[in-house]
Structure 1
Amino acid sequence: MPVPYIRHARHADEETLGWLDRRCWSVLHSVQPRPRPPYEPFFGDRFGPRDHLVAERAGAVVGYIRLGMPTPLECNAHVRQIQGLVVADAARGGGVGRALLRAVQDEARRQGARRITLRVLGHNAPARRLYEAEGFAVEGVLPQEFLLDGTYVDDVLMGRAL
């Protein structure tokens, strides 16, 4: 399968990204309740197009990754945090997630970051394997941090130097 084209999001992507986000929602990777109408805008005050990279294949959006600051503190400004990664079901296993992870690390470096972190649910083994394959290491675990569908789930903190 060809490597997906990665680009910065545009305002015109908002409807597509919102639909993709809702379509791919799963308790495997989300602590938020299942989205229900009326839907919140995908872009808002906290995250806009500049905070997202989009993956396209054959002109169709097949995934996105969100990059943000973990805190507003100046002493933490050298760190970026992945705050969302979604790949369309039909595109999974085709290198989209890996391409987005590599592109977001390049973007974080471009922004002057020295470290990149993320949080992943302990039961999300496919995502954890992908992150580990891309050089992320477990840096902490918050045991039974979330109660999802009647099951307590760990919050796993991962990171790497850039």
Structure 2
Amino acid sequence: MPEPYIRVALPGDEEQLSLLDRLTWSALHAVTPQPRPPHAPFFSDRHGPQDCLVAELDGRVVGYVNLGRPTPLASNAHVRQIQGLAVHEDARGRGVGRALVRAAAEEARRRGARRLTLRVLAHNTPARRLYESEGFAVEGVLPGEFLVAGEYVDDVFMGRPL
């Protein structure tokens, strides 16, 4: 089985990434409404192509991870945060998510970060298992932080040193 190829996103990836966002949307992980066509731009002031790592299998975009700063404060500049991760259903179970998490850690380290954090919904067991297996630990829980599909869901804060 080929390894996923991970690279920094290009502006020309926007349409594929927007489609991937729509295809992978789920109440298991999303706290925003389901995206509908016509799609909104994938890149924004918050996440440009330089903040997104893309996974390819067989020359096809099958996943991404957005890496950002949790705050604009200089005192927090040593921390990077995973601010979105998606893997196409056809590519699940092929190591794409793990490769993206590892690449995000490497890129955060390259950018001078000493810590990597993320937030994940408590009921997203597959993602939590992946993050834990990659060295993330639960550092806090915000009980009932989000109302998703009619149910209150805890927001779990996880982090790890780099």
Q: TM-score, normalised by structure 2?
A: 0.98
Work out the number of aligned pairs and report it: 162
Is 1:58–2:58 an aligned residue pair?
A: yes
| 1:39-89 CA-partner distances (Å, limit 9, x unpaired) | 210011221100000000110011000000000000000000000000000
Code of the aligned partner of 1:10: L
2:106 aligns with 106
Give 1:14 shift: 0.3
Q: Which runs of 5+ in 2 are unaligned?
A: none
- Residue number in structure 2 paired with 1:87: 87
1:70 is matched with 70
How many Å separate the matches in 1 of 2:37 and 2:105? 34
Distance in 2, matches of 1:139 and 1:14, equals 33
Q: Partners in 1 of 2:30 and 2:121 — Cα distance?
A: 8
2:108 alignment partner AA? A
- Of the structure 1 ranges 34-43 and 20-29, higher mean CA displacement relative to structure 2 is found in 34-43
1:143 corresponding residue in structure 2:
143
Per the TM alignment, residue 151 of structure 1 is displaced from its structure 2 partner at its CA by 0.9
Amino acid at match of 1:55: A
CA distance in 1, matches of 2:65, 2:100: 6
Equivalent residue for 1:7? 7
Task: Give the distance between the partners of 1:58 and 1:37, measured in 2 at CA.
Answer: 26
How far 1:141 moved relative to its partner?
Answer: 0.2
* Percent of matched pairs sharing the same residue: 70
Q: Structure 1 stretches of 5 or more lacking a match?
A: none
Answering whether residue 154 of structure 2 is matched by residue 154 of structure 1, we say yes
C-alpha separation in 2, matches of 1:29 and 1:79: 22
1:18 to 2:18 alignment: yes
Residues 90-124 of structure 1, C-alpha deviations (whole Å, 9 max, x = no match)? 11111000000111100000000000000000000
Q: Which runs of 4+ in 1 moved over 6 A?
A: none
